[in-house]
Chain A
Amino acid sequence: MLIAWWTVCALLCLLAIGYTLWPLLGRSSSGAKTVSSFQDYQRLVQERERLMLNLLDLETDFSIGKISSTDFEPLKWELLADIGSVDAKIRHFETEDLRLSKILQDLKDVKL
């Protein structure tokens, strides 16, 4: 019984340690930087979506009279400036980061 207990415990240990340290057994991916760039790109796209939704909300509030035009204009320009800045970063990724551009191109081809 004691041997069976040790066996079960050793199996649990091996399973947990093996699973945890698995990334050490593989070589570090050469595409890691590209993957990281792609994640940054995705994050920016999500940020743009969030800002666009805020803009949509603001326009709805304005159209139903919840906000005066004096307040609406600066808030709108503030949001548009933020969207512009995020857009610029997205464009930078799409044009400057060649590896990322390739991934995006590949994704586009797959979609087509």
Chain B
Amino acid sequence: MTAASFWPLVGEFSLALALGFSLFTFSVSVWAGRSQKANLLRIAERALYATTFLLTVATLLLVSQFLADNFLVRYVYGYSNQEMPIIYKITALWGGQDGSLLFWLWLNSVFASAAIFTHRDTDRSLLPYAITVFAVILIFFCGLLTFNDNPFRLFPMAPADGRGLNPLLQNPSMAIHPPSLYLGFVGMSVPFAFGMSALISNRLDARWIVTTRFWTLLAWLFLSIGNLLGSQWAYVELGWGGFWGWDPVENAAIMPWFTASAFIHSVMIQEKRGMLKFWNMHLIVLSFCLTILGTYLTRSGVVQSVHSFARSDIGYYFLGFLLLTLIVSWALIYWRRNELKSSNVFESFLSKEFAFVVNNVLLVGSAFFILYATLFPTFSELITGKRIIIGPPFFNEHLAYLAIGLLVLTGIGPMIGWKKASKENLRRSFVWPTIVGTICTGALALLGMFDWYVLGTGFGVGFVVTTLIMEFFAGAHARMIQFGESWSTAAIRATLKNNRKYGGYVVHLGLVLIFAGIAGAVYKKIYEFDMKPGDVQYVEEYTVRFKGIQQFDRPNQVETFGILDFYIGDKLVQEMRPARFFYKAQEQPSTEVDIYSRLKEDVYFTLGSIDPQTQVTKIHITLNPLISLLWIGGFVLVLGAVISMMPSLSLRRRD
């Protein structure tokens, strides 16, 4: 043993010990569940915390090896080199398969421990089997890392330098995007574990839903942030001017978001009306399984993607784990089918309950459509021997119908009454939103926009924003009458006392902005010019003058910038510097775009090929209308989710 191999071997030991502790946690928690002995439950809890501690040690040790440039560790050699900035040496932890699995496992253990610790006093009846489920997940990942994908494997001799991280991953968004998605994925294990525990222990009232509400919202929030950051990364890093390419790995990340969104809505029906218990159990199983399926798709090589990790046999293990999870979960649901019967029945199609069911059908339908289209090339190859690729237009065309339906339902759901909406309720709630929606559609048509998706989005935006305003005013007005408060006091108190509901409305507003941003992409325009230094080109209201090329030789990469003066009308507003980097260690180029952002549109510059003899350079300019609304909407959506997760002021005051 040498000094360089000392800490990696401690990390390997820590990982193996964590596997032992997860097995112990599993056994003791099952015993605690069967015997209901408090001491056993205490030990199971502590064993889970100890597993988390050991995984923390292993993760920190792997990060320390990156920081120490210890290329004796194969994984460090594969994803780092001496010239890489410290931040990317840390993010290299999840740059490859083994490290990302360790990172995932560690996050999962932290989430599991935090959930168990938070509910250790209030929900003890659900704890033993929830710990069991967490332990099964940890055993699977620990086993995989210990026996198949050990990130601490060593070379016999250390190479002089590493291969470095994929240049595409050397981007600030990559510091937050994967952890955020992983947090969303592992967060889904909390409601899943408590749901399974409720099934095993036959405590199928609304308690497990109330217990996991915060965790479900947190997982959904991280999935949303992860997907938004992924879009942002694709927009600024891949240089193609788009933000979502329906790549299989992107699809793997968005599918659980759809089912989790459906779950968040349908649990409200269970909480308020005692309905959809059976469906909710299926939804949480589906959401959790989709996170595992996503990992299978990413790592097995069954789909081709720019994001995929190397093809490996790890996919079979994930497939096995996925099937096992599905079989056991469905068996448990079937076992408790009588207890999962609804306490009430649907009374009308014109009711909040039915609106939520339609919302669920559209959300889950979207997830299944994406799954089908993602796996279609694989199935076509299996059946016909030919791989038929499905491109973004297919996704956009078919999902557009579901999207418009969902947008309109975003306005209907909050306004329609429970049980059976009266004519008066329908008239009062939907006449004005319909009028405003129609006016928006008409206005777009007058501006010459006749694309059906844009017109539909215009109607949806007008409709939903009006319902949100009406709902807010109605809540404040009710308080003014009930408590004699001034309008401002009533508005603030109504929001603070029911932050769950109003936070949800803010999320809806965020979604409306995102929809508007996406609709803008229909009118995207792409221009391409061959320019010599001194050349001037005109793009609508903009003028661009090419000044020339600048080149810098950095330790990690060679940077080539195209320098352009950018004018709006006659006014010089900014010097634009789109670039191409060439990463020396990986011998790989990357495109670095430069963007001038306005609320109306983004002017997106990309540097193309350069003729070294004539200095003629290809400049791509893309006009992306309303794209800022996508990012603003994302921010509003995150804000709304945070508001919704905060404890209710009315509860706190009474406490």
Chain A residues within CB distance 8 Å of chain B: 1-2, 4-5, 8-9, 12-13, 15-17, 19-24, 28, 32, 36, 39, 42-43, 46-47, 49-50, 53-54, 56-58, 60-61, 63-68, 71, 75
Docked CA distance A15–B417 (Å): 57
Residues B124 and A16 in contact, CB atoms below 8 Å apart: no
Query: 17 additional contacts, CB 8 Å, given A67-B419, A71-B417?
Result: A1-B1, A12-B13, A16-B54, A19-B49, A20-B21, A20-B47, A36-B38, A43-B123, A50-B206, A56-B498, A57-B498, A60-B498, A66-B416, A66-B429, A68-B425, A71-B418, A71-B420
Docked CA distance A15–B42 (Å): 17
Residues B10 and A9 in contact, CB atoms below 8 Å apart: yes
Residues B481 and A63 in contact, CB atoms below 8 Å apart: yes
Closest to A71 in B: B419
B157 at the A/B interface (Cβ < 8 Å)?
Answer: no
Collect the chain B residues with CB atoms within 8 Å of residue A21's CB: 43, 46
Residues B419 and A12 in contact, CB atoms below 8 Å apart: no
Residues B121 and A67 in contact, CB atoms below 8 Å apart: no
Residues B475 and A64 in contact, CB atoms below 8 Å apart: yes
Residues B1 and A2 in contact, CB atoms below 8 Å apart: yes
- B contact face: mostly helix, strand, loop, or mixed: helix
Q: Which of B38, B416, B648 has a CB less than 8 Å from the CB of A28? A: B38
Contact status of A56 and B650, CB under 8 A, knowing A23-B46, A64-B478, A68-B425:
yes
- We find that the number of chain B residues with CB closer than 8 angstroms to chain A is 56
Residues B39 and A24 in contact, CB atoms below 8 Å apart: yes
Residues B17 and A12 in contact, CB atoms below 8 Å apart: yes
Q: How far is the CB of A78 from chain B (nearest CB, A)?
A: 9
Residues B46 and A22 in contact, CB atoms below 8 Å apart: yes
Residues A53 and B21 in contact, CB atoms below 8 Å apart: no
Docked CA distance A66–B421 (Å): 7
Q: Which of A1, A15, A54 has a CB less than 8 Å from the CB of B271? A: A54
Residues B475 and A60 in contact, CB atoms below 8 Å apart: yes
Docked CA distance A47–B10 (Å): 47
Closest to B424 in A: A65
Collect the chain A residues with CB atoms within 8 Å of residue B57's CB: 12
Residues A23 and B272 in contact, CB atoms below 8 Å apart: no
Q: How far is the CB of B544 from chain A (nearest CB, A)?
A: 54
Residues A20 and B43 in contact, CB atoms below 8 Å apart: yes
B34 at the A/B interface (Cβ < 8 Å)?
Answer: no
Collect the chain A residues with CB atoms within 8 Å of residue B121's CB: 39, 42
27 A–B contacts, CB within 8 A, in A order: A1-B1, A1-B3, A4-B6, A5-B6, A12-B17, A16-B17, A19-B49, A19-B50, A24-B43, A28-B38, A39-B122, A46-B210, A49-B651, A50-B206, A50-B210, A53-B651, A56-B497, A56-B650, A57-B501, A58-B418, A60-B475, A65-B425, A65-B428, A68-B417, A68-B420, A71-B417, A71-B420
Q: Which of A32, A46, A58, A60 has a CB less than 8 Å from the CB of B38? A: A32
Docked CA distance A101–B573 (Å): 74
Residues A75 and B418 in contact, CB atoms below 8 Å apart: yes
Docked CA distance A20–B49 (Å): 8
Collect the chain A residues with CB atoms within 8 Å of residue B210's CB: 46, 50
Collect the chain B residues with CB atoms within 8 Å of residue A71's CB: 417-420
